[in-house]
Homo-oligomer: A and B are copies of this chain.
Amino acid sequence: MIDIAIPKGSLQNQTLQLFEQAGLEIRRTEREYNARINDPRVGKVKILRPQEIPSYVAKGYFDLGISGTDWIMESRADILTVAELNYGKQGPGKVKVVVAVPEGEKIYSAKDIRPNSRISTEYPVLTASFFSKLGIPVDIEYSFGATEAKVPELTDVVVDLTETGSTLRKNGLKIVDVILESTSQLIANKTSWADPEKREDIQAVETLLSAVIRARGKVLIDLNVPEDRIEEVISVLPSMKNPTISKLYNSGYYAVESVVDKSQVNLLIPRLKKAGAEDILELDISKIVP
């Protein structure tokens, strides 16, 4: 039985939805941040700031947790990454921790930043390590938020999290370097992982969460094809895995079923039709376990 830490705040909604789709619905109890998952493998569930989850997992307060790459790196917590879950605040996709300076500055990369510049950031550890590798001495100040507003009066450089960069642009900043790309990670305590029983439970949870993540980017394609064009249709299907083919009863047709990338469907369907496919159906999938 394993204890799990769930991130409060920007990752919270997406995380609750992921667990529910995985069949591991997180229910709130009367004590606001204590939750419950109705599954024999799961013990205590707590909702905490993502900044704090890596350390709490490392210290063994929890066996498993979810946090962003940014906070895992910033906290330098000694944990094990079980799976990359590939979602952020808005849904799928990555965010970036970037270095930004006022648009008008003649700075085109972090290397051009002047020694002893003031840098405002929620990531002092990442920032110190990044500039120390570059060999540029800088004056780092912890920022409680709205960091992009501080340039140019209150600071010279900003190290901040961004999805599209548009908030930075609106505040007159340009991105000159990327410190890291961040996404949601499923992380485990190393001692828990070493324990075979706990590891089995961790892997079961990982299987279910990853099954949902995988299914989000895929659809099921179902089609019929006359015997003489089956090869042609198969050659059009993406090759990652053999499709499921069955001969139809009492007719010269095969039924073909294949899981394909949602983003490729708009190109694939016209090609399948050309190759002889008939009655193509697209269906949504809830989970995929390969």
Interface positions of A (Cβ within 8 A of B)? 8-9, 22-24, 30-34, 39-40, 44, 46-49, 51-52, 56, 61, 143-146, 148-150, 153-154, 166-167, 170-172, 203-204, 207-208, 211, 215, 219-220, 224, 241-242, 244-251, 253-255, 257, 259, 262-263, 265-267, 269-270, 272-273, 277-290
Contacts and interface: CB of A to CB of B under 8 A. Distances in A.
A283 B283 contact: yes
A289 B273 contact: yes
A34 B245 contact: no
Copies of this chain assembled into the complex: 6
Contacts of A220: 281, 283
Nearest to A246: B246
19 contacts: A30-B170, A31-B149, A44-B153, A207-B269, A207-B273, A219-B286, A220-B281, A241-B279, A245-B248, A249-B254, A259-B281, A269-B287, A273-B289, A278-B290, A279-B290, A280-B287, A281-B288, A283-B283, A284-B284
B270 A149 contact: no
A96 to B, nearest CB: 18
A285 B220 CA distance: 10
